[in-house]
Amino acid sequence: MTGREAATLGVQLAGLALAPLLAGGVQSVKARLQGRVGSGPLQPYRELRRLWGRSAVEPIGAGPVYRAAPAVVGAALALCVLVVPVATVGAGWPAGHDLLVVIGLLALARVAMALSAWDTGGGFGMMGASRDLSFAAVGEALLVAVALVASIPAGTTDLRAMWAASSGPEVWAEPRHWCGALAMGLVVVLETGRQPIDNPDTHLELTMIHEGPLLEYAGRDLAVLQWAAAARHWVVLVLAAGLFLPHPSEIAGGLAALALGVIALVVALGVAETWHAKMRLLRVPPILLAGTALALLGVVSWAAGGGA
Amino acid sequence: MTDALSLTAVPPGLWRETIGGLGRRGGLPLSLFAAAGPDGFPEVRCLAETGDGLMLAVCPALDGAVPSVADVVPALHWDEREARDLHGVVFTGHWPHRPLVHHPADLAEWTTPVTGDDVHQVAVGPIHAGVIESGHFRFHCVGERILHIDVRLFHTHRGLEHAAEGLAPDEALPVVRRACGACAVANSVAFADAVEQATGRFPDDATRRARTVLVELERVYNHANDIGAMCAGVGLAPGAMVFAHAKERAQRIIHDLTGHRFMFGAVAVGGSGLSIGADAAAGARGALAALGRDMAAAWRALLFDASLRDRVAGAGVLPHDEALRLGVVGPAARASGVGRDLREDAPRLWYPGFRAVLPAEPVGDVAARMEARAVELAQSLALLDDLLAGAVTPGSVTTVDSGGRHGAGRVESARGGTTCVVELEAGTVRRVHLRTASYANWPAVARAATGAILPDFPLVNKSFELCYACVDR
């Protein structure tokens, strides 16, 4: 392993610990915009410490699927963080750095949560899981379309090559890149479970999507799942910043651009969540479909331009 | 004086015609409850508008049964169920009887059977994920679509009406007031009016003005709260925050004027002890004017918020005829185009020349209920501006006749018409019945949300913003 690979690996490992800071950052920005002091970006860590110190209780009749879900979700997201590189190089391990692997791992986590809701049969869990899966039917098409449009310049879904291919100013001359960036914005909102698609702060059980299945968990299990939700922020924000925000191809400048990009996206999420009310539930799939169409439009524009 | 209460004894054979036919004769049934008659046997009483005053119709429950009127007057459906649960009166023809206050463990006893392909139930509460009063909602759905809702309240029934029995009216007032914090003034004034009517007394100008100030102050902070709550229901933080702030400002003004944020203790039976000096009144008037300007600006901002309009327009529609059928009151009724407001005819309060205001398009959706609050806020602030132009002085009551045993008080609370019926005996309360606007409107929440999608229910519910405590009294 070269020094550069070791450095980027270090950032990726730090990502496991830094992820809650992103979720806390969004909350912090929101609080400021809403005229509240807020509890600061470190609040998720306090929450995790509090939950970690508590015993887990489980619903009567819960089976192995319910018990396994936090471990599966936590492991899938941890692997995601390690698969998504933070620069044009990354440690060469067997898991690789393939975007399709990330999509698969996110889907695995989603399925594990849905199965856990099915296992306990709790009304809110089932409701949230069914909504999540309904959105995923369209949302995964959106993800794949974005992956397609983003992989065009590199000709591969290896994220290190895609990172390199999307660096520099030239890529912004292509309409394909703009279409992909807009579609990626939708992916960010969907996968982080934020307004206008979902509301992570709500106490209204009937409106919950991602929070629904979490209602059945407590203690350490809930801590793992909350960390996984934060890790989702890390994964999609790093992807969005690395693939669709301006960055240089060399390592040090790339890392700095990545940090700035992620911070900008955190602020953008906070602004969007304050500015926009939650959408009516049935409006979400058409919007996700529109995003997919936009990404495909990017592919068409590339093909029409001679596929160069 | 136009609020004489006439007492009418009705034999069971004529009960359905007397109560059920009120609508044809231009009248309106208001509340129905059971009580012990003079001989100790149960009887059913119904307060109604007859077109030329209020009537208290009384029907003896021979063999513990009275003919049901719930099929011809659906607005009294809950009243009959409650009277049966609490007083054991059977309503002949009311079938099936689904307990309202009693909570049987067997679902089949209290829920409506809903069957069909893919129909499933979602149960919410009585313990919620947020700080919400106790209420259980059982949704029968297909997918996200709501087919029917069974509402089960009364989880914190306190027996306040029974607790007030045997107390002198001024001792009973704090008990009745305890029904609800957010409607404390409306409930207190309704009780005071009822007692004063039963004892043949009428409030003087100072008392009427003082009580009107209190009722309108209560409306201002409640309406500000309700608009904010609807914004919170769709996760629109700017609207929720600015109206939460407005509510807090209103309550601080109220605290400065009355010494209590909910105006507990500001209403008395047989007069008014509220004294606001000219300086304090002028100060409050200025503060309310500033609050009104800020709320008007915030409301304009909400009108132009596309993401909010998208959620509230067309959501949770309560059609005009359904609002009439269910006896809906207050801003919810006016949002469905029912132009009723008790303030138009309130001789015991101070509303000269008052006319109800309706939203521009009273189509009965969440947007209309939200706008109803906004237009009434401006109206209430204008009333207060007039009432606080001078000092508010203590007042008394004048004796106008010898009175009877019974009295009825009606007040337009922030949520709508609240009715209180009192029976006195030897200077103490023998029976008091409080029917709040929330009680009248809860069945309409279930009706308005039918056909909506599940995640819209909290918004529809908040657009009515009813009290649980006002029902669980």
Q: How far is B457 from chain A (nearest CA, A)?
A: 7
pLDDT of the residue at A307: 64
Is B458–A36 a contact, with Cβ atoms under 8 angstroms apart?
no
Topology classification of domain B164-462: Cytochrome-c3 Hydrogenase; chain B (1.10.645)
Task: Answer for the pair B271, B173: CB distance below 8 angstroms, yes or no.
Answer: no
Cis peptide before A285 (omega within 30 of 0): no
CA dihedral sign, ordered B181, B186, B188, B194: negative
Question: How do strand B90-92 and strand B65-67 relate by DSSP bridges?
Answer: parallel
Q: Is the predicted pLDDT of residue B3 greater than 80, yes or no?
A: no
Give residue-wise pLDDT tens across range B392-414.
999 888 888 888 889 999 999 99
A29 vs B contacts (CB less than 8 Å):
none
Is B237–A207 a contact, with Cβ atoms under 8 angstroms apart?
no
**Long-range contacts at B446-449 (CB < 8 A, ≥ 24 apart):** B446/B148, B446/B149, B446/B150, B446/B151, B447/B318, B447/B322, B447/B326, B448/B316, B448/B317, B448/B318, B448/B364, B449/B146, B449/B149, B449/B316
The distance from CA A271 to its chain's CA centroid, rounded to whole angstroms, is 18
B309 vs A contacts (CB less than 8 Å):
none
Is A277–B453 a contact, with Cβ atoms under 8 angstroms apart?
no
pLDDT of the residue at A89: 80
Task: Measure the CA–CA gap between B312 and B456, rounded to whole angstroms.
Answer: 9
Three-class SS of residue B384? helix
Superfamily name and number for B5-92: NADH:ubiquinone oxidoreductase Nqo5 subunit (3.30.460.80)
């607790």: which residue's tokens? B163
A123: closest chain B residue by CA: B122
ipTM, interface predicted TM-score of the complex: 0.86
B243 vs A contacts (CB less than 8 Å):
none
Q: What one-character DSSP code corresponds to residue A280? A: P
pLDDT of the residue at A308: 57
**Which site among B227, B245, B459 would you substitute to test the A interface, given the most A Cβ atoms closer than 10 Å to its Cβ?**
B459
Least CB–CB distance from A196: residue in B121, B129, B307: B307
Task: Measure the CA–CA gap between B110 and B149, rounded to whole angstroms.
Answer: 12
Structure tokens given for A62: 């819960």
Over residues B196-213, mean pLDDT: 92
Maximum C-alpha span of chain A: 61
Give residue-wise pLDDT tens across range A71-109.
999 999 999 999 998 888 877 777 788 999 999 999 999
B314: closest chain A residue by CA: A280
B118 vs A contacts (CB less than 8 Å):
none
Is A273–B456 a contact, with Cβ atoms under 8 angstroms apart?
no
* Burial category of B392 from C-beta neighbours within 10 Å (exposed 0-12, middle 13-18, buried 19 and up): buried
pLDDT of the residue at A20: 95
Is A34–B237 a contact, with Cβ atoms under 8 angstroms apart?
yes
Task: Answer for the pair B463, B434: CB distance below 8 angstroms, yes or no.
Answer: no
In 10 A of CB B444, how many CB atoms?
A: 24
Least CB–CB distance from B454: residue in A30, A206, A279: A206
Q: How far is B109 from chain A (nearest CA, A)?
A: 22
Q: What are the extents of the domains in chain B?
A: 5-92, 107-152, 164-462
Task: Answer for the pair A177, A298: CB distance below 8 angstroms, yes or no.
Answer: yes
Question: How do strand B416-425 and strand B406-413 relate by DSSP bridges?
Answer: antiparallel
Structure tokens given for B444: 């309409």
Over residues B289-309, mean pLDDT: 94
A30 vs B contacts (CB less than 8 Å):
237
Task: Answer for the pair B367, B309: CB distance below 8 angstroms, yes or no.
Answer: yes
Using the CB atoms, write b or e for A198-226: b if 16+ within 10 Å: bbbebebbbbbbbbbbbbbbbbbbbbbbb
Q: How far is A28 from chain B (nearest CA, A)?
A: 14
Is B237–A204 a contact, with Cβ atoms under 8 angstroms apart?
no
Mean pLDDT estimate for chain B: 92
Sequence-ordered list of residues with C-beta below 8 angstroms from that of B391, at least 6 positions apart, any chain: B275, B276, B277, B278, B281
> Comparing C-alpha atoms, which of B59, B229, B211 is closest to residue B131?
B229
Q: How far is B52 from chain A (nearest CA, A)?
A: 46
Task: Measure the CA–CA gap between B101 and B442, rounded to whole angstroms.
Answer: 14
B125: closest chain A residue by CA: A205
Task: Answer for the pair A226, A48: CB distance below 8 angstroms, yes or no.
Answer: yes
Structure tokens given for A46: 């306090």
Is A273–B237 a contact, with Cβ atoms under 8 angstroms apart?
yes
Task: Answer for the pair B186, B215: CB distance below 8 angstroms, yes or no.
Answer: yes
Give residue-wise pLDDT tens across range A196-245.
888 888 878 888 888 888 888 999 999 999 999 999 999 999 999 999 99
Q: Is the predicted pLDDT of residue B64 greater than 90, yes or no?
A: no
Give residue-wise pLDDT tens across range B317-350.
999 999 999 999 999 999 999 988 999 988 899 9
* Burial category of B153 from C-beta neighbours within 10 Å (exposed 0-12, middle 13-18, buried 19 and up): buried
Phi and psi at residue B392, in whole multiples of 5°?
-100, 120
pLDDT of the residue at B1: 46
pLDDT of the residue at B239: 92
* Burial category of B407 from C-beta neighbours within 10 Å (exposed 0-12, middle 13-18, buried 19 and up): buried
